[in-house]
């Protein structure tokens, strides 16, 4: 889908500047591309520059980035003209700009685009320039594969998350962020007591288990279009692995908060445990636990992966919090 959108957008651009064809040509010397990180706080700003250009009238660039640690926010072209809205699908990003009218192409060194990302993880995150298409004023294309990579340096999330001090899950949250399967928000909060949606938990689980991303195009749910782009590949992976299923009406309901019974079942599936259907829990509210979930709840509780909420209650219908999800996923990681 991304490739289709990309070529359609680039075709529109070519039509826009087809009216302008001054007599300039590319030099034989190949352009040189660089990616450079600028100083920032939580936001990561990356500048893409091209040098040794000759008569560049339009460009299209394709980049990949580590979506477990970065979320794309915006791009600003360094060349005056018409720019498409950046196309983002999973970890792939496409930006393009063209001049309009009877104007000479760009020569020498030009900032093609300044990219802004939100920091989600810690350590470093790779950003790669993989494909470049340049078009001169005679509409002659030049396709390049520069393979330029930048390891963007990320700040310590422990110093940035301002609402976890004193929380019972502080250490677990900081470890989960460091491992890259969970992240904070752009306002510097983690919101440990916020509820976790089905899409969000699927993404966290797949990242925690380091499962191979699936293809969003394979999702057959009636509401597949409602699954956020940042979680679609992870949801597909969870479905393909048999960890996650939809509802009887063929919907997924990505924004619906996930409850503790559902999480227990997903845990046993993720760990590939052979569930004993006769197994019972010892929680005081076991009569409220759905029959389809009780064996999984019992196994997960015995393994120490999932815990009650005090007074020996499991609270099966309660929605899981972000702090609970992180703690549970770390327990799974430690079991594997």
What pLDDT sits at residue 160? 62
Beta bridge partners of 50: 33, 110
Per-residue DSSP letters for 54-93? EEE-EEEEEEEE-TTTEEEEEEEESSSSEEPPPEEETTEE
The three-state secondary structure class of 294 is helix
CA distances to 30, 60, 107 from 131, rounded to whole Å, are 14, 8, 20
**Contact, 32 vs 140, CB < 8 A?**
no
Tens digit of each residue's pLDDT, the chain (336 residues): 555 445 445 554 544 444 444 434 444 578 999 999 986 666 789 999 999 999 999 999 999 999 878 889 899 999 999 999 999 988 899 999 999 988 999 999 999 999 999 877 777 889 999 999 999 999 999 999 998 999 998 876 555 688 898 899 998 998 888 787 888 887 788 999 999 999 999 999 998 888 887 777 778 899 989 998 888 889 999 999 999 888 889 999 999 999 999 999 998 998 889 888 888 998 999 999 999 999 999 999 988 888 888 889 999 999 999 999 999 999 888 876
CA distances to 61, 80, 86, 311 from 77, rounded to whole Å, are 11, 7, 10, 58
CA distances to 77, 114, 143, 152 from 46, rounded to whole Å, are 12, 6, 22, 8
Nearest to 95 by CA among 136, 44, 133, 150: 133
Strands (E), the chain: 32-38, 43-56, 58-65, 70-77, 82-83, 87-89, 92-98, 106-119, 123-135, 141-144, 148-154
What pLDDT sits at residue 23? 39
Q: d(Cα 301, Cα 16) in Å, to the nearest integer?
A: 62
What is the model's pTM? 0.56
β-strands 32-38, 43-56 pairing: antiparallel
**Contact, 149 vs 33, CB < 8 A?**
no
């Amino acid at each position: 889908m991304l490739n289709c959108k990309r070529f359609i957008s680039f075709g529109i651009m070519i039509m826009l500047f087809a009216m302008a064809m001054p007599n300039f040509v590319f030099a034989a010397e190949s352009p040189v591309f660089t990616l450079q990180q600028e100083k920032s706080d939580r936001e990561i700003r990356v500048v893409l520059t091209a040098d040794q250009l000759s008569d560049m009238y339009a460009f299209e660039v394709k980049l990949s980035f580590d979506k477990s640690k970065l979320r794309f926010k915006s791009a600003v072209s360094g060349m005056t003209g018409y720019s498409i809205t950046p196309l983002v699908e999973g970890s792939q990003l496409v930006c393009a700009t063209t001049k309009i009218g009877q104007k000479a192409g760009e020569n020498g060194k030009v900032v093609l685009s300044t990219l802004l990302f939100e920091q989600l993880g810690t350590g470093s995150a790779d950003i790669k320039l993989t494909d470049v298409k340049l078009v001169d004023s005679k509409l002659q294309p030049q396709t390049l594969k520069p393979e330029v990579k930048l390891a963007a340096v990320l700040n310590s999330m422990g110093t940035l998350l301002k609402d976890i001090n004193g929380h019972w899950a502080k250490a677990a949250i900081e470890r989960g962020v460091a491992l890259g399967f969970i992240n904070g928000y752009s306002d510097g909060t983690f919101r440990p007591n916020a509820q976790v949606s089905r899409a969000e938990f699927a993404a966290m689980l797949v990242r925690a288990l380091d499962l191979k991303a699936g293809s969003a195009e394979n999702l057959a749910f009636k509401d597949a279009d409602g699954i956020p782009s940042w979680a679609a590949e992870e949801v597909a992976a969870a479905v393909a692995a048999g960890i996650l299923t939809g509802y009887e009406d063929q919907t997924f309901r990505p924004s619906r908060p996930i409850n503790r019974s559902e999480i227990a079942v997903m845990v046993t599936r993720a760990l590939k445990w052979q569930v004993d259907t006769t197994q019972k829990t010892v929680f005081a509210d076991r009569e409220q636990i759905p029959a389809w979930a009780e064996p999984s709840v019992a196994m997960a509780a015995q393994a120490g992966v999932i815990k009650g909420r005090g007074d020996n209650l499991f609270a099966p219908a309660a929605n899981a919090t972000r702090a609970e999800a992180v703690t549970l996923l770390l327990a799974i990681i430690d079991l594997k």
